[in-house]
Structure 1
Amino acid sequence: MRTLLVLVTYLSFSLLCPLITNAAEFLSGQEVTIAADETWDGDVYVSAQSVNIAGTVKGDLVVCAQKLHVTGTIEGGVFAACQQILLEGDCGRTCRLASQVAEVGEGAKLDGDLVAAGYSLTVNQDAVISGDLVYAGFQTLLRGEIARNVWAAVNRAELFGGVGGELSITTAGSHAPDPLMTDEFWPGTPLVKIPRVPSGLTIHDSATVGSKLIYNSPSEADISAMAKVTGPIEWIEPASPGKEPQQKMDYAWQQIKRFLTILAMGVLMIVVCPQTTGGVVEQIIQRPIASFLAGIVAVPLSVVMSVLVIALIVAIPMGFGWLDFDGLAVAGSFIASFAAVTYLGSLAFYFVFGAAVITCITLGRVVFSDHRITSRGPMILMLGFGLIFYVVLTCVPFLGMGIFVTAILFGFGGIFLWFMGKVLAGSAENRPRAATDGK
C-alpha cells in the first residue's frame, strides 16, 4: 500500500505538473535534430515524429514525438510523451517520461529523479540516477545505479545493479504470463530493444540494496544468496481474491464498452460537425502548448458560464414579470430554460465524450502526419487508431486519471482557440467592409 501511495503522489504532482518558463524555443516537423555543436539557451519544446538531441540544451526539454533519442546534455529536466525514449546523455534535473518503452543507456547520468510510466523501462549498466526512481508499468530491468530509493508498481522486475536506499516494489506472481509486446511491434528499426524480464521479482548476485527491501507479490521473490541487502527483507503477500477471473472478464468488458461508446460518440461528432471537429484537431496539432494552457483557462470559464446560464433561468422570467408584459414572462422562462438545457447538455457531452474524441483524433493525426484532414473518412480512421492508444493508456495504473485530465485540457483549450480564431477572423473581414461602406 505504501508503494502505491508514493506512486500516486509522484505521478500526480510530478509527471503532470505545469511547466513555467521565462524563455522557450518551439520546434516541429517530421524529424527534429539538435546537432552536437549546437547550444540552445532556455527551454526547448519539440513536436515531431523523430527527435534527436546531440547538442546542449541549457533549460528543460519538452517533447511529444514517436521517438526521442538524447545523446547530448540537458541542463534542465526532460519532460517527454513518446512511444520510444532512449536517454544516453546527461540530464541536470528530474526527468518525467510517459512512453511505451524507455531506456536509460550506458553511461547516461541523470542528476535528479526519474519519474516514468509505460510498458517497459530499462536502466542499463553504467547508467547513474542520482535521485529516486518512481515507475508504474508492465516491467522494469535495472542494471545501473540508483543513488536513492526505488518505488515501483509493475508486473515483473529484475535487478542487477545497485539501489542506494530503499527498494519498495509491487509485482505480479512468478507464474504470470509472458509479455505480448516484442521488438517486431515497432515499424522499421526500433530505437529501444524490449528486454525479456522474468515474471515476478528477480534479484541477481551483483545486486545491492542500501536499505530495506519491501515487495508486495503473490509469490516469493527470487533473491540470490549473493545479493547484498543491507536492511530487512519484508514480503507482503496479498490476499487471493475469490472471483479474480470474473473480475478480469468484467474489467475487459467495461473497457470494450467504453471503447465502443467513445467510438460511436466520435463518429456522431464527425458526421454532424466535421468542420468544427477537424478545426479543433488542427488547432491542437499546430499549437499544442497553447492549446494545453488555454484549456487551463477554458475549463473554469465553462463552469462560470454554466452558473451564468442557470442564473438566466431565474433572471429573465423575473425581468419580464417586473415589466408586467402579458405572456412574455412565460416565453422568457421557456427560452431561458431551453438555452440552459442546450448549453449544459452540450457542455456535459463535450466533457464526458467530446474531449476524449478530440484527443483520440489528435493522436491518430500525429501518427498519420502526412495526411491532413480532408473528409469524414480519414477523420474516422484517425479516431479509431487514436482511440486504441487512449484506452490502453487510461488502463495503465496511476496514469489513467492523468490522461483523462490532459484530454480535458487539450479538448477545451483546442475548441477555445478555434472559436476565438473564428471570432477574430470574422472581425477582420468586417472592418474593411465597414470602411468601404463609409466611403
Structure 2
Amino acid sequence: MNNVRKLLSIFALVTLVALAFVPAVHAFDGRDGDTVVIASGEVINDDLYVTAQEFILDGTVNGDVIAFGQISTINGTIEGDLMAAAQTVIVNGTVTGAVRMAGSVLLLGENASVGGDIIGAGYSLEVQEGSQVGQDLVFAGGQILLAGEVSRNVQVATGAFELRSTVGGNVQAEVGEEGQAGPPPGMFMPQSPVSIPTVKPGLTLDPSARIEGDLEYTQTKELTVPAGVVAGQITRNEPATNQTTTRQETTSEKILKWGANILRNIFTLIVIGLLLLWLFPFFVQGLSGKLQAAFLPSLGWGIVAYAAFFFLLLITIVGMIAGGLLFGILTLGGLAGTVVGLGLLSLFALILGFVLVTSFVAKIVFGQALGRWLLARTSPTLAEHRFWPMILGVIITVVIIALLSFPLIPGFLGGLLNFAVILLGLGAFWLWGRERMAIRPVG
C-alpha cells in the first residue's frame, strides 16, 4: 500500500504541475531571460508567464501572472491573479484578484492593494502599513509582521506573529514560543534586496491593532491582550503535544498480526485469481505457461519491464507538458487542454495498471505456474483443472513469503522473494505480450 500511496502522490503532483503550467482554454504571453521587465505604460492583454532571474512589472497585465525566478517585483497593475515563486516576492502595486506566493522573503509594500485573498508560504512575510488586502490572508512560515489592513479573516501558522493593523474578521494563529526562536533570518539565506523585519517569537498584539471578530490562538502561555483590541471572543488553545509513546508490540501480538496478514493475502489473491480465471482463462493460463517455459528469461525481462514502466511514465509526463505548452503558445487553447487531459488519463491508466499487475496479477500468475508444476508431479489430473493449481500455488507462495517475513527473523528476505515474484510475473507478461504483438494476421 505504501507504493500505491507514493504512485498516487506522484500522479497528484504531476496533475498540479500540468494544470499550473498549461492553460486549458486561453492563450498566454510567455517571457524568459535573466531579467524580464514590463515597462511602465506597456499593457499586456493576456495571461503572462515569466521565468527569469529577476522579474519587474511596472506596466499593466489584463490577465493572470505566473512568475518563477529569484526576485519578482510587482510595481504595476495585474487585472487578475498573481502566482509567484521566488527567493524574494515584492508586491508594491495593485492585484485585483488573489495572490499565491512562496519564497524566502515576501513583502507587501505600503502602496500594495490586493483585491482577493493572499496565500503565502515562506520564511518572512511583511505586510506594510498602508497596504490593503480585500479578502482573507493565510500564511505559513517563519514569521509575519502584519501592519496593513485585512478586510476579512487572518489565518497563520508561524513561529512569530505581530499584528499592528486592523483585521475586519477573525484571527486564527498557531504560533511558536519565545524559547523556540531560531538564528537570525539572514544566516542561512541568500541576501535579499529588502530588509527582513525582526519579529518577537510568539504572538504580539500592538495596542493600535484592531480585530473586529474573534481571536483564537494556540500558544502555551496566556496572552496579555491590550484593551479594545479584540471586539469578539478570545480563545486560547493548548498546543498539541506528542505525548503518545509507541508501545512495543509483544511477541504474541506480532505473531497474531503476521498470521492475520497471511490469511488476508491468501483470501484476496484467491478471490481475484478465481475472477480472472473465470473471465480471462486463456490470458492467465497463457501467462503461467510462458513463465513455466521461460522461467529465468522471465526474471530478466521482468527487470526490463519494471524499468520500462517508469521510463514510460517520464515520457508521458514530458510529452503532456511539452504538448500543452506548444499548443498554448500557438493559441490553440482547446488542443492544449485536450493534450493535458489525455496525458493525465494516460498517467492514471498506467499507474493503476502497474499497481494491479504488481500487487495481484503477478502473484496469481506465479501461483498458477507453481501449482501446475507441483500437481503435474503428484496429481496430473488436478494439474489441468482451471482453479486448483492457482489456489494451491497462491497459498504456497504467500506462506513462503510470510515465513521469510516472520517477525523474529530479518524481514528483508520475505521482501526480496516478494519482489522476485513480481519481476517473474512482469517478465512473463512482457514475453507473452511481445509474442502476441508479433503475430500478424494472414491475408
- TM (norm. structure 1) is 0.55
Aligned counterparts of 1:25 and 1:339: Cα–Cα separation in 2: 50
- Contact residue 21 and residue 43 of structure 1 kept, 8 A: no
**1:229 match:** 230
- Contact residue 60 and residue 77 of structure 2 kept, 8 A: yes
Aligned amino acid, residue 232 of structure 1 = Q
Residue among 329, 333, 348 paired with 1:300? 348
Kindly tell me the number of residue pairs found equivalent between the two proteins.
284
- Contact residue 96 and residue 116 of structure 2 kept, 8 A: yes
**1:58 match:** 62
Alpha-carbon distance change, 308 to 109 in structure 1, aligned in 2, over 3 angstroms = same
- Contact residue 86 and residue 191 of structure 1 kept, 8 A: no
- Contact residue 142 and residue 161 of structure 1 kept, 8 A: yes
Alpha-carbon distance change, 236 to 16 in structure 1, aligned in 2, over 3 angstroms = farther
**2:44 match:** 40
- Superposition RMSD in Å: 4.2
**1:106 match:** 110
- Contact residue 102 and residue 192 of structure 1 kept, 8 A: no
Aligned counterparts of 1:30 and 1:287: Cα–Cα separation in 2: 22
**1:195 match:** 197
- Alignment partner of 1:218: what SS? coil
Alpha-carbon distance change, 166 to 49 in structure 1, aligned in 2, over 3 angstroms = same
- Alignment partner of 2:180: what SS? coil
Aligned counterparts of 1:288 and 1:62: Cα–Cα separation in 2: 19
Aligned amino acid, residue 35 of structure 2 = E
Cα offsets for 1:373-423 (capped at 9, x unmatched): xxxxxxxxxxxxxxxxxxxxxxxxxxxxxxxxxxxxxxxxxxxxxxxxxxx
- TM-superposed deviation, 1:176: 2.3
Question: Does 2:111 align with 1:85?
Answer: no
- TM-superposed deviation, 1:161: 0.8
Percent identity between matched residues is: 30
- TM-superposed deviation, 1:287: 5.5
Aligned counterparts of 2:88 and 2:143: Cα–Cα separation in 1: 15
Alpha-carbon distance change, 239 to 55 in structure 1, aligned in 2, over 3 angstroms = closer
Aligned amino acid, residue 66 of structure 1 = Q
**1:218 match:** 220
Gaps of 5+ in 1: 1-11, 245-271, 322-335, 345-439
**1:175 match:** 179
Aligned amino acid, residue 173 of structure 2 = I
- TM-superposed deviation, 1:237: 2.1
Alpha-carbon distance change, 184 to 306 in structure 1, aligned in 2, over 3 angstroms = closer
Aligned counterparts of 1:343 and 1:105: Cα–Cα separation in 2: 64
- TM-superposed deviation, 1:28: 1.3
Residue among 69, 72, 81 paired with 2:73? 69
Aligned counterparts of 1:30 and 1:213: Cα–Cα separation in 2: 44
**1:132 match:** 136
Cα offsets for 1:12-69 (capped at 9, x unmatched): 9xx9894545121111111111111211111111111111111111000011111110
Alpha-carbon distance change, 116 to 293 in structure 1, aligned in 2, over 3 angstroms = farther
- TM-superposed deviation, 1:177: 1.8
- TM-superposed deviation, 1:315: 9.4
Aligned amino acid, residue 46 of structure 2 = G
Alpha-carbon distance change, 302 to 207 in structure 1, aligned in 2, over 3 angstroms = same
**1:147 match:** 151
Aligned amino acid, residue 302 of structure 1 = L
Alpha-carbon distance change, 123 to 343 in structure 1, aligned in 2, over 3 angstroms = farther
Cα offsets for 1:263-305 (capped at 9, x unmatched): xxxxxxxxx99xx9xx98xx79x96974995874553142255
- Alignment partner of 1:230: what SS? coil
Aligned amino acid, residue 219 of structure 2 = S
Aligned amino acid, residue 350 of structure 2 = S
- Contact residue 103 and residue 122 of structure 1 kept, 8 A: yes
- Contact residue 36 and residue 55 of structure 2 kept, 8 A: yes
Which one has the largest radius of gyration? 2
- Alignment partner of 2:111: what SS? coil
- Contact residue 210 and residue 231 of structure 1 kept, 8 A: yes
- TM (norm. structure 2) is 0.55
Question: Does 2:33 align with 1:29?
Answer: yes
Instruction: Determine which structure has greater relative contact order: mean sequence separation of CA pairs < 8 Å that are 6+ residues apart, divided by chain length.
Output: 2
Aligned counterparts of 1:174 and 1:243: Cα–Cα separation in 2: 25
- Alignment partner of 1:303: what SS? helix
- TM-superposed deviation, 1:196: 0.9
- Alignment partner of 2:185: what SS? coil
